[in-house]
Amino acid sequence: MTDATDLAERAGDRDPRVGLRAVAALRRLLEQLEAVQVRSARNQGWSWQEIATQLGVSRQAVHKKYGRQ
Amino acid sequence: MFERFTKGARAVVTGAVAQAERTASPQVTDEHMLLALLDSEGTRSAFAFASLGILDQRASVEAGLADARRRGGMSSADAAALAEIGIDVGQIVSKVEEAHGPGAMGVGGTAKRGWTSHKKFAPEAKKALEQSLRVALGRGDKEITDGHILLALTARPGVVSDVLADHGGTYGAVERALFGAAG
């Protein structure tokens, strides 16, 4: 049995592992999506301030995270 | 730590570097270590791979790693967990690739520094090597072998252990194949 089907079956038992794993995966998914969108915005000439406003964070936070790339 | 590595274990490390170079990866990752282990012949881990039927599934293992990379480091088990809460990762990746090009969500990317030939080990690869030391110590073994590295890869949560588990290489199964039922 694969890990994936194993997990799916346990989900029926409300195994916290599945829910927690989903949260952890979602967090990584969020990071990936953010990186893609920030890169795209920069390529289209957006300023760090404009990106930060849309993300709802400070300019410094965005620049610190993505500025050196 | 490396002075305790056997020849076979050192071959895995140098093999992982070669894998990273072959694929022009910016860093040496735990995925490269797994591929290096799959390449090794006549070693304990090669025996374990053969007895677990993983050697015959090499293409599927590589596909599993590639899929996870395309999903931004998300294993099939991660995708299954997300599906449980109604999130279709495959669809998200497709949409992002539609808008931003193939592989947009992918991990890896560009090299961190210059064109130096000396590749750095990614944090997860370093942690896997540290784990192999702990695995050896935990078993009371004096040397770190390629088998300990393989077992360490199955012990650490992440894409590599998920892909191995998908192909029958769970921690327990690998431990039994490597060291026998007595463990």
The secondary element (H helix, E strand) that includes residue B120 is strand B120-121
| Integer Rg of chain A from CA | 18
pLDDT at B23: 86
Q: Which pLDDT does position A5 carry in this prediction?
A: 61
Q: What is the pLDDT of residue B106?
A: 79
List all residues 6 or more positions away from B99 whose beta carbon is below 8 Å from its beta carbon.
Answer: A40
Whether chain A has a CB inside 8 Å of the CB on B77: the answer is yes
Count of structural domains within chain A: 1
Q: Distance, in angstroms, between B76 CA and closest chain A CA?
A: 6
Residues 6+ apart with CB under 8 A from A9: none
Give the residue-averaged pLDDT of A11-34: 85
A2 with B165: Cβ contact below 8 A: yes
Mean pLDDT of chain B: 89
pLDDT at A69 over 80: no
**Is residue B108 pLDDT above 60, yes or no?**
no
The predicted pLDDT at position B183 comes to 46
In this structure, are residues B163 and B173 in contact, taking their beta carbons and an 8 Å threshold? Answer: no
Chain B environment of A40 (Cβ under 8 Å): 99-100
Question: Is the CB of residue B74 less than 8 Å away from at least one CB of chain A?
Answer: yes
Mean pLDDT of chain A: 85
Whether B66 has its CB under 8 Å from any CB of chain A: the answer is: no
A-chain residue closest to B158, CA distance: A25
A58-62, B106-110, B142-146, range with the lowest pLDDT:
B106-110
Q: Over 70: is that where the pLDDT of B88 sits?
A: yes
Inter-chain Cβ pairs, chain A and chain B, closer than 8 A: 72
Confidence of residue A14 (pLDDT cuts 50, 70, 90): confident
- Summarize pLDDT for B124-178 with one digit per residue, the tens: 999 999 999 999 999 999 999 999 999 999 999 899 999 999 999 999 999 999 9
Compare all CA atoms of chain B with the CA of A29 and give the residue at the minimum distance. Answer: B72
Contacts of A11 in chain B (CB under 8 A): 81, 84
CB within 8 Å: B105 and A11: no
Q: Do A22 and B166 touch (CB under 8 A)?
A: no
**pLDDT band at A12, cuts 50/70/90?**
low
CB < 8 Å to A18, chain B: 81, 84
Pick from B84, B63, B64, B175: nearest CA to A6: B84
**pLDDT value at B63 more than 50:** yes
In the structure, what pLDDT confidence band is assigned to residue B112 with cuts at 50, 70 and 90?
A: very low
Which chain A residues are closer than 8 Å to B74 by Cβ? 25, 28-29
In order of their start, the domains of chain B are 2-72+119-179 (1.10.1780.10)
Higher pLDDT, B60 or A69: B60
| Cα(B125)–Cα(B118) distance, integer angstroms | 15
pLDDT at residue B110 in the model: 46
Rounded average pLDDT over A16-44 = 92
Full domain range(s) for residue A12: 3-66
Chain A CB contacts of B85 below 8 Å:
19, 22, 26
Q: Where are the alpha helices (DSSP H) in B52-122?
A: 58-70, 76-84, 89-100
Q: What is the value of ipTM here, to two decimals?
A: 0.74
Which phi and psi angles does B27 have, rounded to 5°?
Answer: -135, 160
Question: Would the pLDDT of A1 be above 50?
Answer: no
Work out the pLDDT band at B9, boundaries 50, 70, 90.
Answer: very high
Distance CA(B35)–CA(B65), nearest Å, equals: 10
Nearest CB to B162 within list A3, A5, A33: A3
Contact across the interface for A40 and B83, Cβ inside 8 Å: no
State whether A4 and B105 contact (CB < 8 Å): no
Percent of chain B's residues with pLDDT above 90: 74
**pTM of structure:** 0.80
- Quote the crossing angle between the two packed helices B123-138 and B146-155, to the nearest 10°: 110
Residue B95: the pLDDT is 93
Question: Ramachandran region of residue B114, left (φ > 0), alpha (ψ -120 to 50) or beta?
Answer: left
